Amino acid sequence: LSTNTSALRLGYNFITVLGPRSFPALPGLRLLSLVYNRLELIHGRALLGLGALQELDLSHNLLTVLTPETFLPLTSLATLNLGSNRLGELDPGVPGALPQLREVLLQDNPWVCSCGILPLWRWLSHNREKVREKSLLLCRVPEQLNKYPIMAFGDESFRQCQETSLSSQHYIAFFIIGPFSFMASIFFCTFMGSLIVFYHSLRRESHCWRRP
């Protein structure tokens, strides 16, 4: 490939994985399209050398997980299309890793609308102007929320998630208090058992002294 290549269209090629440094350094590349492949995995270093890329189309693939690390080299990316994949959740660090992002497409994914989607919902709510096809961001799971628009949720929808979430301090407290509570209960049971045995022993002795 020439270093002057500005557009690279690799759709319909049955590509399943993008490994480390899948592309040579292409300082002039502005558009990369990988639509209608069978992409399941993109390595964290797959897109190195594509710092000038402005549009990345990964739609109509089989992606289930994406990491922010993968997108860090794309400092000029303005448009990211992740539509029609198999994403149930998405780390908001993915779009957050793109300082020049102007539009993101996330429609037609099987979104799991549980507490796990709260971080993404917050990002979407704060970046509505960047989200295209908002009406097509629909829940798939759980069944009672099937086809419910994600953007229709409000803060009250996640109140239970926020109330039941535990901070790291809470977990530390549980780890510290738990063993102490267990040891204290053993000590208490042993102590009470000894008192009961001692009490019964005294009663037997008192009966013996009362005999004529």
User: pLDDT band at residue 3, thresholds of 50, 70 and 90?
Assistant: confident
The closest of 81, 163, 83, 82 to 115, measured between CA atoms, is 163
Say yes or no: domain 7-164 is CATH 1.10.20.10.
no
CA distance 57 to 9: 9
* Contact indicator for 65, 88 with CB cutoff of 8 Å: no
DSSP character string of 15-31: --EE-TT-S---TT--E
DSSP 140: E
Q: What is the number of other CB atoms lying within 10 angstroms of the CB of residue 152?
A: 12
Of 2-6, 31-35, 127-131, 171-175, give the lowest mean pLDDT range: 171-175
Per-residue pLDDT tens digits for 20-52:
999 999 999 999 999 999 999 999 999 999 999
Decide if pLDDT at 178 tops 90: no
Report pLDDT for 160: 87
The closest of 50, 57, 80 to 10, measured between CA atoms, is 57
Report pLDDT for 161: 87
CA distance 112 to 123: 16
In order of 21, 52, 74, 142, 155, the CA distances from 31 in angstroms are 17, 9, 12, 36, 37
User: pLDDT band at residue 204, thresholds of 50, 70 and 90?
Assistant: low
Give strand pairing partners of 112: 141
The closest of 73, 81, 79, 114 to 97, measured between CA atoms, is 73
CA distance 23 to 119: 31
Report pLDDT for 2: 86
* Contact indicator for 113, 148 with CB cutoff of 8 Å: yes
- What's the pTM? 0.76
Per-residue pLDDT tens digits for 108-147:
999 999 999 999 999 999 999 999 999 999 999 999 999 9
Per-residue pLDDT tens digits for 61-100:
999 999 999 999 999 999 999 999 999 999 999 999 999 9
Please state the domain extents for the chain: 7-164, 166-212
SS3 42: strand
Report pLDDT for 193: 65
Report pLDDT for 91: 97
CA distance 137 to 12: 25
Decide if pLDDT at 212 tops 70: no
Sign (positive or negative) of CA dihedral 40, 150, 122, 130: positive
Report pLDDT for 171: 37
